[in-house]
Every structure is written in C-alpha cells, then in structure tokens.
A and B are shown apart, each in its own frame.
Chain A
Amino acid sequence: MESAAVNAVYALYSDPDSAQLAVEGLRREGVAERSITVISSEPFEEYEFSRRDKPTWIFWIATAGGAVGLVAAYLLASITQRMWPLVTGGMPIVAMWPNLIIMFELTMLGAIIATVITLLITARLPTTRSKLYDPEISNGKILVGVENPPENSIEKLRQALRATGGEVHPG
C-alpha cells in the first residue's frame, strides 16, 4: 500500500512512548482529535493513543444479526414443513424440538456474519483507495500524523513531530 496520493504530515517513531508524546504534542498544537492518525503494525492497548475510538455498536449489531438468523430459521423450517406435510416418527408437522437445532445454528451464523460485516464496514475494508501509509510500519515503526492539514500549519506540525523524536516524512 502506498500513500503517494495522500496529502499528509507525518513522522515515524520507533517506540510507543514517543508516539504517545507525539500525539500529545499535536493536541497541544490544536489539532482536533479526529484529525490525528496513528498507524502501527500491532495494537498498543496499554497506551492512551490506542484507545481513541468511539464506543462501538458491534455487540448490538451482532445480536440483531442473531435475531434475523433466528427468525429466518424458524420461517425456513416451518414453512417447508407446512408445504410438504410429511409425517415422520410420529412427530407433529411443525416439530419445534428438532427445529430448535436449525434455529440455534442460524442464530449463531447470523450473529457471526453480522459481526464480520460490521467490522468490514466500520474499519472501511476492503478498500483500494490511497490512504495514509508507510511501508516502514511493517518494520515496527509507528506512524503519527495529520491528513490534509491546513497549508499554513504544515511547518508547525512538522516541528511538533520532530520535537518528539520522530523521523518526519519530507513529502
């Protein structure tokens, strides 16, 4: 992934402590929280910069997916059984005990698929659009930067990033 088409000011850091200082430095320069981008090859949950995310609805969406699966399974089994009223083993035509198995499986499948779709949509995957990135991230570097900064603040941001020990990208 290349970042050639993206207008950004960023620096690469070798350790998460410096990256945390860089994020704080950008805040002090008045950069809005949502404009600060931090990219790494691993999550750093123990650092504050790694927790700058909104609450996620993914659990509730998974639950809703499960509910859709449950209803779909009930309809699939019961409508099929009514359309072809085959008596087996003395069971009723719509036999809830065995249908519960189908309903359980499709409930879980619904929850799993809803979780994956939510992940893909909220993490904006898959994408082929050029985004801020540097292949050095794969070598363990942490990128801290600002996308599309105002023209008059670029130099100030570079100084802030340099002050915290970052290798500022010249582009």
Chain B
Amino acid sequence: MNLETRNKINDDLLRPVLHTSPWFYVIIAVLGGIILAGLGSWMYQMSHGLVVAGIKWPVYWAFYITNFVFWIGISHAGTLISAILRLVNATWRRPVTRCAEVITVFALMIGAMFPIIHLGRPWLAFYLMPYPSERGIWPNFRSPLVWDFFAISTYLTGSTLFLFLPAIPDFALMRDRTNGLRKRIYGALALGWQGTTKQWHRLESAMQIMAIAIVPVAISVHTIVSFDFSMAPVPMWHSTVFGPYFVAGAIFSGIAALIVAMAVLRRLLHLEEYLHPVHFHNLGKLLLTMSLLWGYFTFVERLTVWYGNSPSEMAVFWETQTGSYAPLFWTMVFCNFVIPLPLLSIRRLRTITGTVVASSLIVVGMWLERFLIIVPSLATKNLPYSWGFYRPQPVEIMITIATFAAMAFLYVLFSKFVPIISIWELKVGGHPRPVLTPQEEEEAQELWRVRP
C-alpha cells in the first residue's frame, strides 16, 4: 500500500467526521424528537405508576422485559463477533469490527435501562448493587437479577474498553487533523499516543487477550439473561436448553442488526469502497448458519415440550401454536427461518439487498421471539385460575419505539465524532502477507522475543 492510498483512506474515512451534512441535523432532530416523546412517556409512567402500562396480574413481565432481552441479544452483534473474527484472524473483518463493537456498547446501555424502567420507581435501582446497606438488607447473590447486574456490568466494561483501545490510534490521527477545541478533545482521548513499535506491539497483545476474555463473557451474559427465566418453575421456562437457545438467538439477532447498520452507514456515509458486497456475503453466510441453528433450537424446545405432554406446558404450547399468540408465532417462524433461508442460501440472492431484507425480518422476528418466550408463559401459568392476558398500552409502545430511535441517535452521533471504520486496521489489511512455512512462522514469532 503506497502513501497515496493511505492518505486516501484517511481522507475518505475522516470526511464524515470533519464535514457535516445538513442531513445530519435533520436525522438528529427527528430521532431526538422521538426520544423526547419516549422520555415523556416514561415520566408519565413514573408520575401515574405502572398502572398506565399494560403490566398487570398475572403478566408482570411484558414489553419492558421483552425489550431488555432483545437489546441484550442485539449487543452480541459487536464485541463477540469482532472478538471471534479477530481471534481467527479473518482479514475481511477489518472494516466491520468497529461498526459492530459500537452496537454492543449502545445496545447494552439501552437494554440495561429496561429493568430500571420496569421497576416503576427507578430511583430504587441501586438496590441491585452489592453495597453494605444501612438497613441490613444485602443483595441476594442467589438471585438471577443480581447475576444480571454482574454479567451486564462486566460485559459493558469489557466492550467499552474493547471499543476504546483500538480507537486510540485513530484519535491520535484526528488530533493531528483538527484544530482548537476538537484537537484538545481528540488529544485527550488519544492519551498521548505516538505509534512507536512498542506501543503497537503492546496494543495488539492487549487486544488478543481482550478478545480471548470477552468471548466467554459475552456467552455468559445471555446465558445469565436466560437464567432469569429458566430458574423459575414457570411452564416452558424451566428448561436446560434455554442458555444455548438464548445465546444462539442473541448472536442471530446481533448479526442481523449489524448487517442493517452496515447497509445504512454504507449508503449515508458513502462507504461503498470500504464496505464491499463480500462483507455482506460473508455475514450473510454466518446469518444463514445462525438461522439454521435457531430453527434447530426452536424445534428441539418445542418437540421436548410436546413429547413430555405436561398439561401446564401444553397449555402454553397450544396458545402459541393455534391459540391467541399463534399469528405472532408463525410470523416469527416466517421472519426468522422461512424467508431468510432461501434469501441467504441461494448465492444469487445473497446480495446486499437480499441480506438486508433477511436481516430486517430477523430483527422483527427475534423481537417477537423474546415476546413469545415471556408473555404466553406468564399468561397461562400452571392453574387456570391464574390465567390472564396482556395488551400493550401506548406508554409501553412509545418507550419501545423511543429505544430504537435512541439506538439510531447514538449510532449517528458516534459516527459523526469517531471514524466508524478503524482506519489503522483497514490499512494493515492492505499489507502484503508473505506466505510462510511453519518453520518460518516460528522464526518470525521468535523475533518478538530475541531482541534485547
């Protein structure tokens, strides 16, 4: 890669940061308006109580917990996928990783808000934290809700650092390209980065360890979210398959969200030269694998329940297959499996448009899946006297819409202030890679060690 190419990459990827289109303000205003409406709805709920939401006996977990599980699932788009691709040294990952890691951080922040919204009295959220209480009430470490606190905090901390560390060299680049206040801000974020060989080596070693550490954390997070359900003796919740089922669903919805986000960025920021059809093609193959895995888990879970023929579980089962939740269930199956399967498996259809259509449907389908795990089981519990129904209220719908707007808002703001594609990693991807024999590879590795 010559000097001109390197400078072209700098110019192309810094353009959205250094120049602001009028569309940016329009998008921010529209999304900001929706977020304000959501905040207003939340304030209304706080002042009138949870009665204004559709949550009532026996369905105490509904839209808010659906959103919580959905957004935590979406968060698996980023850090997990980025870490796996980094560990297997997939070269095509380079333009994709930061787009993905940003989704993780923002989706986790949004997801973690929902238990607080669901509390009704959010000012008591600190009860979840492990602090020595003056009132003698200590957090119960045997509660899955406290496990959530630890898992989400660890994943959010790890993901934020995983996003920040490889951004330091890009902050240094922006420090050198800007003036005034922006130069000071980027200078502070760059932490005095020079780019010495030692700094590069240390950064890459740290990223390798972070990638190794973050993969099990990501898997644990959604497993623990599944424990919120599977630890309870509620029909169709108390299942050993829930951990991997939730993890597979999370990665599935995460990849779908990533493809949609990449397509939007490609169009809005004119990144056609960097986000190629091959990126969508490869992610499409990954999405196809996850669609098949999701289908497998759904089948296994349903078959086990049907074969067991326990009356309380069968009541929930038939509610979702042929009862009042059946339209949602079959829409979910079509969105997650039936339509994506041909779109993603036929090579000719696995285009940018094809993968984006499949991904958009999967995002909808996975939201429905979370809803269908939570609500029918609570509405059709063990004894018929405790059966009930749930109908979402405008407050819940508005807050849900606002969180989607919040995700887009944060994403647009981030891509305005930080290059959405890691510039230095993209350049490294253009370096020629010599084909080494195993012995030469070993010798090359040895060079890291022998020099004093």
Contact = CB atoms under 8 A, between A and B. Distances in A.
Interface of A: 1, 14-15, 33-34, 37-46, 48-56, 58-59, 62, 76-77, 80-81, 83-84, 86, 88-89, 91, 95, 98-99, 101-102, 104-106, 108-109, 111-113, 115-116, 118-120, 122-129, 131-133, 135, 137-141
Contacts of A118: 206
Contacts of A125: 168, 191-193, 199
Closest 6 pairs (CB-CB, A-B)? A126-B191, A140-B6, A127-B192, A43-B200, A138-B176, A119-B206
A121 to B, nearest CB: 9
Nearest to A127: B192
A124 B191 CA distance: 9
B216 interface: yes
B142 A40 contact: no
B198 interface: yes
A152 B169 CA distance: 35
Interface in B326-359: none
A77 B433 CA distance: 49
Nearest to B130: A76
B125 to A, nearest CB: 19
Given A15-B3, A56-B201, A51 B447 contact: yes
B196 interface: yes
Interface in B182-200: 187, 190-200
Given A51-B197, A51-B451, A53-B451, A135 B176 contact: yes
Nearest to A57: B205
A127 B193 CA distance: 8
Given A77-B141, A105-B151, 6 more contacts: A41-B424, A43-B204, A53-B197, A53-B201, A76-B130, A99-B141
Interface stretch (B154-162, B247-255, B271-279): B154-162
Contact of A53 (B141, B192, B432, B448): B448
A125 B169 CA distance: 12
Contacts of A109: 153-154, 157-158
A135 B141 CA distance: 52
B28 interface: no
Interface in B243-280: none
A61 to B, nearest CB: 9
A159 B59 CA distance: 80
A113 B217 CA distance: 14
B395 interface: no
B360 to A, nearest CB: 33
A115 B209 contact: yes
Contacts of A131: 192, 194
Interface in B1-46: 2-3, 6-7, 10
B432 A51 contact: no
Contacts of A112: 154, 157-158, 161, 210, 213-214, 217
B220 interface: yes
Contacts of A59: 205, 209
A64 B441 CA distance: 29
Contacts of B193: 125
Nearest to B173: A138
A102 B203 contact: no
A106 B85 CA distance: 25
A98 to B, nearest CB: 5
Of B209, B431, B447, most A-chain CB atoms within 10 Å: B209
Contacts of B201: 43, 50-51, 53, 56
B240 to A, nearest CB: 14
A106 B213 contact: no
Contact of A123 (B6, B141, B154, B202): B202
A86 to B, nearest CB: 7
B244 to A, nearest CB: 16
Given A112-B213, A112-B214, A126-B191, A119 B158 contact: no
Interface string B415-452: 00000000010011001111000000000100111011
9 contacts: A33-B451, A51-B451, A101-B150, A111-B213, A112-B213, A112-B217, A125-B191, A127-B192, A140-B6
B169 A41 contact: yes
A105 B154 contact: yes
B216 A43 contact: no
